[in-house]
Amino acid sequence: MGIRMNVRNGSVAFLFLTAVAFSTGTALADNVEHNTDYSIALSGLPIARASFQTILTDDRYTISGTLNSAGLADVLSSTSGRTRVSGVVQRDKLRASEYSVSYKTGKRGRDIDVQFRDGDVTSATMTPKRRIPKNWVPVKPGDMRNVLDPLSGLIFPADAKVCPKTLPIFDGESRVDLKLSAKGTRSFKTQGFEGDVIVCGVQFVPKSGFRKGRDDVEYLRRLASMEIWFAKADAVNVYAPVYVRIPTRLGPVTVSATRFGG
């Protein structure tokens, strides 16, 4: 992962950058809208910006987000993406019914759509289809059962355990486990939030939908220093990511909330 952003869906970078969207986890009679902004940087240099809007109506939720390259990354290779997920709020998780993402880097782009029923994938389409390389680990039917999408999969109702926890994520192409381990608390401050956050270590475990031996996948598989920080939004009673840190060979990629609520 370098200064040139790799945001194909299923790639490590896009999984982590889009996974920090904010949602809500309580059933309310009226619509609740929550907006958050994120800054993505490499070794302190801005490479992308992301914004998300969440709307909650009774027990249903919708998250819509955009991602755009910034700074030097935008000069070298302009990147943009949009994503949307909707589903039902359950007691201990958000359960998607449909998830989609479209992205473009330079002149190349791709659209992906995934349909879920009770946590199982019923269909997954990609346009244009990807040419399958050698050493590809195919996604089997069992890999698409009882899974979470990469957006609402990282949102936890306040009464649910945040970490330790294993999250089975399917993003339309790749199936991975994110194993969260407890690392204590830290202080965090941004527009709309100030207070302690829960710090989780992250172990990246690729399961299928990737090329075996791929450098960036193997690099992340071996990492033991990735972190995700979760802040509690008292108004809607959930925990959601406000900070992600992914070490790379060129320096850390960080995703920081510049606004959390409002």
Task: Record the pTM.
Answer: 0.85
Calculate the alpha carbon distances from 166 to 163, 176, 197, 202, 247 in Å: 8, 10, 19, 9, 21
Higher pLDDT among residues 189 and 213, named by residue: 189
Specify the amino acid at residue 45.
L
b (16+ CB within 10 A) / e for 162-200:
bbeeebbbbbbbbbbebbbeeeeeeebebebbeeebbbb
Query: What mean pLDDT do residues 199-212 have?
Result: 94
Query: What mean pLDDT do residues 241-253 have?
Result: 89
* Paired strand residues for 137: 210
The Cα–Cα gap between 157 and 23 comes to 10
Across the chain, mean pLDDT equals: 83
What was the pLDDT predicted at 236? Answer: 67
Contact 214, 206 (CB under 8 A): no
What was the pLDDT predicted at 76? Answer: 57
What was the pLDDT predicted at 24? Answer: 32
The Cα–Cα gap between 82 and 234 comes to 28
CA dihedral over 19, 205, 112, 118, signed as positive or negative? negative
What was the pLDDT predicted at 136? Answer: 95
- Render pLDDT for 14-45 as a digit per residue (tens, 0 to 9): 444 444 433 333 333 357 777 889 999 988 88
Res. 8: pLDDT tops 60: no
Residue 12 burial (10 A CB sphere; 0-12, 13-18, 19+): buried
What was the pLDDT predicted at 11? Answer: 39
